[in-house]
Structures are given as C-alpha cells and as structure tokens.
C-alpha cells in the first residue's frame, strides 16, 4: 500500500461526501470537511481526516448525532452555558464560539461553557476564531473517550489527552496560538510509530505494569496478561507533575465545571469522543489596556525573535508559527495521507455506501 497525495480541495470534497452520506446536511458536511482538512494543513494529522472513520462509527452507533445545534442552558449576558447535545463539534463548537465572541464584544468578556460536544478537533481552531476578532481566548478541554493518560506517579491510564489553548492577538501580526494536548505525545502518533515498527523515546509511555517503555504498541494493541490485569499501558503527561496538574485542571474545568462530566470509570469500546470546553474570552479594548497591550506584546515578541537561534534550529518561533508554515507549504504542495489512514477512510466511506 502506498500513501495518497491529494490537494486540500479534493480531500475536503471526499470528506464532505462521506459525512453527508452519514446523515449530515450539506452545510454540516462542508464544515466538518473544512475543519478536519484544516488540521491536516496545519500539520496536525492526528486531528485531521484520520478522525473520519471514528466519526462514521460514532454516528452508526448513535453516540454522535448529525445536524444538532447548541441548547442554551444558562444565559446571563457575559456568562453562557451551552449543551452540544452530542452533535458534531464542528457545528456546535462554531455556534458556541460565535455566541461567545458576540457576548465578549458586547460586555467586554464572556465565560462560555460547552458541554457534551462531540470531538472539537484542533482546539486552536476555536481560539483562532476569537483572535481574528481581536479577542484573547483561553480554552480548557476534557476528553471522554478512553482513559489513555496516566496521572504523575500513577501506573495506569485515568483520563484523556485533555488539551489547553491560549490565543492572543498581536496588532498587525500573526497571532500567538498555543494549543497542545497535556499528554507528552498524541495517541495517534503512537499508532503510526507502532504501525511502522518504530520504538519511541523513554518518557512517553508506561507499560501495563506502570514501568517506562519505548514500545508504542502498549497503547495501541491489547498486551499479554500481566499481574496488573491491565490490557493497555498509558501515555505520560508532558512536564512531569506540572503537565499532570494542567491535565487535571482541564478535567475539573472542561469536564466538571461545564457540566459535561469527568472520566471515572473503566474503558469501553464505544467510538464516540466527547469534549467539554470552558472558554474565557477577553476584549483588551474593554479592559482599558489596549494601547499598552498592543505595544508591550509586540515589543516582547520582537525581543524573543531577535534572540540567537540555538545550534540545530533556524530561528526562535512563537506558538502558531509552525501551523502557519505548514499551511503555506501544504496548500501549495498538497497533503499526504498515510496508506493505513487512507484505507480506513475507504472502509468508513463504504459503510455509508460511498465509493472513494
Ligand atoms: N479535541 C480533542 O479531544 C483533542 C485532544 C488532544 C489534542 N487535541 C489537539 O491536537 C493538536 C495537537 O496537539 P499536540 O500536543 O500534539 O501539539 P504539539 O505538541 O505539536 O504542540 C503544538 C503547540 O506548540 C507550538 N509549537 C510547536 N513548535 C514550536 C516551536 N518550535 N516554537 C514555539 N512554539 C511551538 C505550536 O504552535 C502549538 O501551539 C492540538 O491542536 C490539540 O488541540 C485535541
């Protein structure tokens, strides 16, 4: 099997056909396709079109409901509590962020909670929507799917890859968009390494007994029976106890505070992935610091960029730069989808009677 090299527009059209055949309106299908392909363009293949088979399975199982909108559970102006009703994150996430942006413009800030959204994809996408409107945007997200990440000092997976995102507009420049999972590395990257027969660095993973390992298979395929009784190992958090603390904060803020729910049960085989997201949006103009914010932020970013590059690197970057560079390159040259992922997409399409 060989990789598939495809333009972003052809890939969008393929994804949209499959999503529509799985029951979504044309508008929703286009939104899902746009969002997933944008993740590939941004260099985050783990959150791109490779998610499509999972979405199709989740729809067929009934855990993901096409054509849902958000339900407002509380609205006090600058505070919004929303329920995604297990709809596509690409639809309910867009609606929720648009409402929060409007409120932040109106009131100067908005705290928006979104519960029970299906997978919200690349969280940076939502911060970028707010940043484009001149707003600062903070996101804390939990993931209800499979407990693949171990607590610091723990010997098994207890929660998901809980992402954090901070977007800050920079006057006249491309924004700062920090957006990462609190696991040391993405689960999808371990699947790829396992398929390619590669070992990974120590510090990424523990085996089912809680011991450090370099074998990515421990989080991909069930392991031989062991004393612990666990079938899988787990990913570790980034930054030791600090990343672990941030992962717990995501569960408490994105899961508990939003009403979306936290993870506290054994793994199951259901395919749906739910995200709870707490967003805080701030309009710097309304905080009264717009002038100094703009000049001080630019001065600091320039100061960073003027620093010498370490041996082996070309330049000091800020968060958001790698995604922008990937987009420019992949828009120009197309996207490569690895053979195993493409095969899974073909099979998912067949389940909803689409030939790819
Ligand atoms: N929806 C979900 O359930 C879910 C769960 C986990 C992760 N995700 C998404 O997965 C994506 C990938 O996460 P990840 O942890 O693999 O990301 P990552 O480890 O690639 O880190 C990405 C962040 O680091 C910044 N960065 C990278 N290199 C840099 C450099 N040299 N200098 C400065 N900044 C740099 C990027 O701009 C970006 O903000 C994210 O978009 C995240 O939102 C989603």
pLDDT, tens only, 288-347 = 999 999 999 999 999 999 999 999 999 999 999 999 999 999 999 999 999 989 999 999
Q: Is 119 in the pocket of ligand 1 (CB under 6 A)?
A: yes
Q: What is the pLDDT of residues 195-218, one digit of tens each?
A: 788 999 999 999 999 999 999 999
Classify burial at 355, counting beta carbons within 10 Å of its beta carbon; exposed 0-12, middle 13-18, buried 19 or more.
exposed
> Who's near 217: CB < 8 A, 6+ residues apart?
194, 223
In whole angstroms, give the CA distance from residue 352 to residue 341.
17
Ligand 1: which residue has its CA nearest to atom 1? 121
Q: Is 175 in the pocket of ligand 1 (CB under 6 A)?
A: no
Place of tokens 């999808």: 188
Place of tokens 């499509």: 52
Residues making up the chain, counted from first to last:
356
**Given pLDDT bands bounded at 50, 70 and 90, which one contains residue 38?**
very high
For the record, the structure tokens of 335 come out as: 């996207």
In whole angstroms, give the CA distance from residue 34 to residue 128.
14
In angstroms, what is the span from residue 257 Cα to ligand 1's centroid?
A: 24
């Amino acid at each position: 099997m060989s990789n598939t090299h495809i333009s972003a527009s052809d890939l969008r059209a393929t994804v949209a056909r499959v999503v529509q055949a799985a029951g979504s309106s044309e508008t929703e299908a286009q939104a899902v396709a746009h969002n997933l392909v944008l993740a590939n363009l941004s260099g985050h293949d783990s959150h791109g079109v490779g998610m499509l088979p999972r979405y199709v399975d989740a729809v067929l199982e009934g855990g993901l409901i096409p054509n849902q909108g958000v339900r407002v559970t509380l609205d006090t102006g600058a505070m919004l509590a929303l329920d995604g009703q297990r709809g596509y994150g690409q639809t309910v996430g867009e609606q929720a962020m648009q409402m929060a942006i409007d409120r932040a413009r109106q009131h100067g800030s908005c705290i928006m909670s979104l519960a029970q959204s299906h997978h919200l994809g690349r969280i940076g996408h939502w911060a970028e929507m707010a940043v484009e409107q001149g707003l600062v945007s903070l996101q804390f997200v939990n993931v209800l799917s499979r407990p693949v990440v171990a607590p610091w000092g723990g010997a098994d997976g207890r929660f998901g890859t809980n992402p954090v995102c901070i977007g800050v507009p920079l006057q006249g420049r491309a924004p700062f968009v920090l957006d990462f999972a609190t696991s040391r590395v993405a689960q999808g990257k371990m699947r790829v390494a396992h398929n390619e027969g590669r070992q990974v660095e120590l510090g990424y993973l523990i085996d089912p007994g809680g011991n450090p390992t370099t074998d990515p298979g421990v989080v991909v395929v069930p392991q031989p029976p062991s004393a612990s009784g666990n079938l899988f190992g787990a990913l570790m958090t980034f930054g030791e106890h600090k990343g672990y603390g941030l992962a717990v904060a995501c569960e408490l803020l994105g899961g508990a505070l939003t009403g979306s729910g936290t993870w506290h049960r054994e793994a199951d085989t259901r395919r749906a992935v739910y995200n709870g997201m707490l967003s805080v949006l701030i309009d710097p103009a309304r905080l009264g610091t717009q002038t100094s914010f703009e000049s001080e932020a630019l001065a600091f970013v320039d100061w960073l960029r003027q620093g010498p590059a370490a041996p082996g690197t070309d330049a000091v970057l800020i968060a958001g730069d790698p995604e922008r560079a990937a987009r420019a390159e992949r828009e120009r040259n197309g996207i490569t989808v690895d053979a195993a992922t493409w095969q899974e997409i073909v099979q998912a399409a067949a389940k909803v009677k689409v030939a790819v």
